A and B are shown apart, each in its own frame.
Chain A
């Protein structure tokens, strides 16, 4: 799939206008429509289809509007990611202490496949501002790759794929709770 990503990057460079807006195609069905989400009008949103409650901010975004935060401080190895979640729960962030790293299917469930750069519903979910067309908008899942325990699955919100990431590499985190 390396080939696909290279082609895709070329496509973005050729057509992306640089204006900050996701590229969406109306002929592709929405997979994370506004109607699916219950906005708690704070830092939380619930996906009514799965019952999962999500933090709107990427971890490391410090303010209510998810507009501040240091990108480099918000990147975690897989181990750091799990430890970050533990620390968050010890502090009962947003009133809950059962936050967790989403698993592969949970994180996939909020990908918006109608759109790229990024493939997420930006009304409810905040990324760090675009860098290289969201090429680093990669988020950890809690799911280890069964065939390679030194890797775990990551979601690429640049265009919606789910691929393997080395656990020693650093990626972003979005927290989830509830569901089932």
Chain B
């Protein structure tokens, strides 16, 4: 056989020998010409292959020929590559994983043999873990580099070095580059790790840990040393952790109160921490002198840091003066004669005085050092409260008595000024400007340099500079709003006189009550009077689930629904014509107090009198010349030309006040909000509790405020009104006929 193979190998080159070998074969066939050729299969390899990888299956056997077929599930259209009697090679790419039967048949389709072939899914190993190659750090950026691997991405992790027990956080995943600049928003220290990732998974990580330490430099205080002697100022520089790379940093000196005569300046020098080191130092030379001076300082600035974060970039070096200061010497104190109860500035004179010396005087609890002194003189302020001879001691900072003086405290010869606020002022709830007047007399007959009114938050200067004579009076106009501090309705005016002895003397005081109009709006809410529930269309017995949270669920109508004093949450008290409270059962009353808002309301009548419900008025405000003053509507007693009889809101208000309704005389038109407070939205025609407010018209009632609008527009010719038919609130033209229900402030 071998011989023949060798012979066949020569076929190509020695074609002439072909017949020799062929004839040999022919010869053997010739020997047994009736024996049929039997195709036998003896083996198949490989039997284990990988999915989707092209593979050459070798079928070995005997008498093989190119009619033999190779079939296997997942092996599409195998291609016959090599054809010999003992060996056939089929090439295909298996595309179904698992164990498949490879079946070999002869040219007639006869089964020859089969073998199980294991088709494994592609096995890819997780990548190698990458190595961290290089790291750089500067403030704010950590630069990380690592080695490259094929067909992977990288995931970079970090964590605070102070939290090594905590888990790593992903800085960036799916990185294809082999470097990354991590922006650090804080000055913490981070450790880094990098891993490689492919479809088989992630490599191990924490292969390299980068420590970017924080650098600290300590400030330094040291004595300067003797004259001409150089003292080394050694600055300790430390890392809070050993770095994994060499750390370098530059430093320089920056002059402070110390100048370059005091130390050897350094413009730029560098220090280095080899890997593993955490401490080093550098030295600046300080040159001593003999001057008595304050402590001086210069700064060290760090910069150009590499592989480190600056924990502190600047420190101060303090050169302590070690030359002894001289002991203060006190020569004099003035004045030595003062007036009792008068603030006096005392002057201490001498040498080497500092701001640390103190002045102690009997009956003067604390003499206050005044700024602006120097080593020759220092000033103190003090008021002596008792007459007589008082000891004054000047003390050093160590409490040594430097010198003692005697001070004569004499009685005040001057007689203080007097004065009086002569024209007070408006009463309660006054609105607008008020006039005040005052006189102040200094009985010495001395000129008054200044007279002021002073209140808690403002002062008015009535007279300044040329206030001559001793019987002057002054008058001024003030607006109380300027004095109102928002919390206390009392305004106190004080009259002060600053006399020629520079004494501020309060000579009179007046307290009066005043409230800005807006204060009236601190009106407690008395609720709406709605006690029934509704859906979109109708009244219902109880609150529907999909209409929850409506008016009747909340407020005084729920928590204070005592009907004896008014419907739902309202609470009223009847008042008689003298202003006395009546029981709820009273049948006649003149006014009603709302116990929630405190307001007192006029009752309307049906008797044709002043308060009759059918009276109608136009809106008029005389002092502003606004509204419609004269004769738009009939009312009781109207007489042409007699303003007191006019049918407008102001004339009516004056008439009611002069009648002293319920013993009161500050009746006024209600503010819109006050009028709204009377609306009972649970009632209509009228929308008010008629048990307490009978004789209410189904009409608009005037409020005090005009409508806001552009002057001249027409809209500013309206005022607000509340319609008590159903309770709506809108503007009403001034000349319209509307009803009035006056209100009186709470008593």
Contacts and interface: CB of A to CB of B under 8 A. Distances in A.
A146 B726 contact: yes
Interface string B674-712: 001101011111010000000000000000011111110
A161 B708 CA distance: 12
B284 to A, nearest CB: 50
Interface stretch (B265-273, B501-509, B549-557, B632-640): B549-557
B324 interface: no
A113 B528 contact: no
A23 B710 CA distance: 7
A29 B537 CA distance: 39
Interface string A1-35: 10010011011001110000001110111110101
A14 B672 contact: no
Contacts of A49: 521-523
Interface stretch (B178-186, B233-241, B464-472, B728-736): B728-736
A65 interface: no
B539 interface: yes
Contacts, number: 191
Contact of B547 (A8, A14, A79): A79
A11 B717 CA distance: 12
A43 B527 CA distance: 26
A130 interface: no
Contacts of A23: 708-710
A127 interface: no
Contact of B709 (A25, A82, A143): A25
Contact of B530 (A85, A146, A150): A146
B583 interface: no
Contact of A86 (B530, B548, B683): B548
Contacts of B676: 104-105, 108, 162
Nearest to B732: A4
Interface residues of B, number: 64
Contacts of B708: 23-25, 28, 113-116, 119, 159-160
B713 interface: yes
Given A15-B710, A25-B709, A113-B708, A101 B730 contact: no
**Interface SS majority for chain B:** loop
A162 B706 contact: no
B681 A104 contact: yes
B536 interface: yes
Given A147-B685, A149-B539, A104 B679 contact: yes
A62 interface: no
B588 interface: no
Given A50-B524, A103-B530, A146-B683, A161 B731 contact: yes
Contact of B728 (A1, A29, A35, A83): A1
B706 A4 contact: no
Given A103-B555, A147-B684, A29 B549 contact: no
A32 B270 CA distance: 67
B673 interface: yes
A1 B550 contact: no
A93 interface: no
A153 B681 contact: yes
Interface in A67-84: 77-79, 82-83
Contact of B534 (A27, A30, A149, A179): A149
A49 B530 CA distance: 22
Interface in A33-90: 33, 35-36, 49-50, 52, 77-79, 82-83, 85-86
Interface string A131-142: 000000000011
A91 interface: no
A82 B534 CA distance: 12
Interface in B271-292: none
Contacts of B716: 25
Contact of B681 (A16, A100, A146): A146
Contact of A143 (B539, B551, B684): B551
Given A24-B708, A143-B530, A146-B530, A100 B549 contact: yes
Contact of B528 (A50, A104, A115, A149): A104
B517 interface: yes
A159 B710 contact: no
Interface string B527-567: 11010101111110000001111110111100100000000
Interface in B476-535: 486, 517-518, 521-528, 530, 532, 534-535
B705 A142 contact: no
Given A35-B486, A180-B559, A144 B521 contact: no
B554 A103 contact: yes
Given A4-B730, A104-B528, A11 B715 contact: yes
B525 A106 contact: yes
Nearest to A32: B521
B30 interface: no
Nearest to B537: A150
B216 interface: no
A170 interface: no
A28 B539 contact: no
B677 A163 contact: no
A161 B709 contact: no
Contacts of B427: none
B607 interface: no
A33 B518 contact: yes
A28 B706 contact: yes
A109 B525 contact: yes
Nearest to A161: B730
A66 B522 CA distance: 27
A150 B672 CA distance: 26
B718 interface: yes
A168 interface: yes
B341 to A, nearest CB: 41
Given A10-B714, A31-B521, 14 more contacts: A11-B710, A11-B715, A23-B709, A31-B672, A36-B522, A50-B525, A52-B525, A79-B547, A82-B549, A100-B549, A113-B707, A141-B551, A160-B729, A162-B729
17 contacts: A4-B733, A30-B518, A31-B672, A49-B521, A49-B522, A50-B525, A79-B546, A100-B549, A101-B549, A104-B551, A105-B679, A106-B525, A116-B707, A116-B709, A142-B550, A147-B685, A147-B726
A-B pairs with the 8 shortest C-beta distances? Answer: A162-B729, A11-B713, A15-B710, A147-B684, A49-B522, A142-B551, A144-B534, A11-B715
